[in-house]
Amino acid sequence: MSKTELVQAAQQAQQAAYAPYSNYRVGAALRTKAGKVYLGANIENAAYPDSICAERVAMFTAIMQGEREFDSIAVVTRDGGSPCGSCRQVLAEFALHATVLLADQSGQILQESTVDKLLPGAFLPSNLNIKP
């Protein structure tokens, strides 16, 4: 799957977002090293702390399916917004060196980075001297 196709999958996921409070719809498409893609969309809640971001929906769905190796994630927002700190931390847990594609809702890739560049000095399982 090409970068463009991964962004298109994230655009598709964005359509499922539930964002009545912020009206900031986010879609994510997370690709495993084996090529399988998991989608996520942000889901808001009137009790704001109970909301969840698209990136974590995609990651948690993949983890629940037994996946542990990821190579890239595309995130689509109206303006190419970057993952929040909580999403960066979750991505670092499982995909520290994965490519991150940030695109606007038209599908234009505005930034390409990696998780470790978005979260330098990430707190990792190795900090706890354990292996997950």
pLDDT in tens, 95-105: 999 999 999 99
pLDDT at 15 over 70: yes
Report d(CA 2, CA 74) in Å as an integer.
11
CATH ID of 3-128, from 3.40.640.10, 1.10.1060.10, 3.40.50.300, 3.40.140.10? 3.40.140.10
CA distances from 98 to 72, 79, 114 (A): 5, 22, 5
| Helix 54-64, helix 3-14: angle, nearest 10 | 100
55 is catalytic: yes
Q: Which one of the listed residues 55, 67, 69, 112 is annotated catalytic?
A: 55
Instruction: Determine the pLDDT at residue 132.
Output: 60
pLDDT in tens, 66-83: 999 999 999 999 999 999
83: which DSSP letter?
P
Report d(CA 31, CA 55) in Å as an integer.
12
Coil vs helix vs strand at 92: helix
